[in-house]
Amino acid sequence: MGARDAWSSIPYRQRQAIKGELLARDGLVCCVCKTPIASMSVATIEHKRERNAGGALLDYNNLGLAHPRCNYGRHGSSQRTRVIDARAFF
């Protein structure tokens, strides 16, 4: 998918800098499930809206830190999405 490809093209160091900005703004808290994340090394960057729904790639208002399972759960298999839905996070 185009959005994922574009995100992957951002240099690693720039992505680390973005994570630092999000940490300063939000703290080490998952933007999907609102619970703490163990460490920055496992935190991922989540797009709160899909880009094709109006979210810009580098719009900080559209970005937040997330657990890997929360981030990939939203974009990944329907099975993972169902698990998250069952926990009433949305």
Q: Which residues bind Zn ion (CB under 5 A)?
A: 30, 32-33, 67, 70
Distance from C-alpha of 71 to C-alpha of 67, rounded to nearest angstrom:
6
Q: How far is the CB of 67 from Zn ion (least distance, A)?
A: 4
Q: How far is the CB of 2 from Zn ion (least distance, A)?
A: 25
The Cα-based distances of 43 to 20, 21, 52, 67 in angstroms read: 11, 13, 24, 6
Q: How far is the CB of 73 from Zn ion (least distance, A)?
A: 9
**6 vs 83, beta carbon nearer Zn ion:** 83
